[in-house]
Structure 1
Amino acid sequence: MKVQVAKWGNSTAVRLPKAVVEQLGLKPGMTVDVSVEGQSVTLAPNRPQSVRELNGMPDPVTLEWIVSEIKRLGPEKGRSRPCPGIRAVGPAAGGGPVRCQTT
């Protein structure tokens, strides 16, 4: 497949045909690995090495983070029952597990 080399601002660019973009699963803003070997240029999608490298993946939730958030937010105000509109069953007042049943 032949494509034209063009000027793009102060850079030189090669426009990738739609079929190539779709075949490689490229999206605007993605990075690609560019390698030169002899007189050949190779473009390859820069795939994340792990799930954590994906955009928007949250950091793991740790017990320390949960405790700090509980301290930061403090007790909830204005909620008299753990399950609004629902009857709590179990040791709700004793700090144990609470089951909720519809009333």
Structure 2
Amino acid sequence: MFQETHRITKEGRFLVVNTSPIIIPRTSRAHASKRYPISFDLHYYLVNHGWEFIDDIIWLKPESSVKNRNGCFVQHRKQLAYKPNAVTEYFMVYRK
């Protein structure tokens, strides 16, 4: 997809990629869920395929848009009871 986007984009034009960390659910109660920052893999790929990195914008989502941010702590009242949530989005700006 990004190769075709690069092919049809005119020189000097911009590409803005909006990503959010992926949450990989836990496989059992003995394991924890994990956050995977996919934007960093995309950055490496885009730069190596001809896009020039210009800027990044990190947006913190409003409380109302993030489900169950503190639900686990409120429910169990344990300090170590933390459930990862995708609370940020990355806007990465590139130029051809």
Could you tell me the TM-score, scaled by structure 2's length?
0.23
Computing the radius of gyration over CA atoms, which structure comes out larger, 1 or 2?
A: 1
Q: TM-score, normalised by structure 1?
A: 0.22
Q: Does 1 or 2 have the higher relative contact order (CA < 8 Å, sep 6+)?
A: 2
